[in-house]
Amino acid sequence: MEQKNYYGVGRLVNTHGLRGEVRVTPTTDFPDQRFRKGNELLLFHPMLAEPLKLKIATRRSHKGFEILSFHGYNNINDIEKYKGGELKIPEEALMDLEDDEFYIHQLVGCLVVTDEGEELGKIVDVMQPGANDVWVVKGKRGEILLPFIDDCIKEVDIENKRIVCHLMEGLL
């Protein structure tokens, strides 16, 4: 397979029943689109030399998981060996986002500066605890957690990998 960028949409955590269904923990904000019947996903697993192309045969949600089956995998023995694998999509399958929305891979590595010009460091991770995302910035001051809210994040320039923030009281 040619060299491309791939992005995770779920982790195959276990089998579900005997008919080849799997339990998937979604890692996408778009499970209805990503796990639609007929869609193709790529399975990355340590035992596979190349990603395995899978076509979704059935899908239902159950207790926070996506229960999927794939064409050609009709028995638990066909699919069980892939537990722990990552389901991914190629970069060209990414969906367009609104102006104030970003993919995590676009944010990681961005330089964060304050509205006063101080460099805080680079984004190394994005946490999603609930109400709003929290951007993890590592730099000279150590680790800083910035909430993705209008009072804090003032400007996001993905093209130039630069973010301007306002340090609200209590963030440091």
Count of beta carbons in the 10 Å neighbourhood of residue 19: 14
Count of beta carbons in the 10 Å neighbourhood of residue 32: 10
Query: Residue 106 and residue 109: Cα distance in Å, rounded?
Result: 8
User: Which CATH number do you get for residue 70?
Assistant: 2.40.30.60
Q: Are residues 61 and 111 in the same domain?
A: no
Q: Per the confidence metrics, is the pTM higher than 0.75?
A: no
Q: Give per-residue pLDDT as tens, 18-76.
A: 999 999 999 888 899 999 999 999 999 999 999 999 999 999 999 989 999 999 999 99
Closest CA relative to residue 59, chosen from 87, 85, 90, 92: 87
In a domain, 14, yes or no: yes
Q: Are residues 83 and 113 in the same domain?
A: no
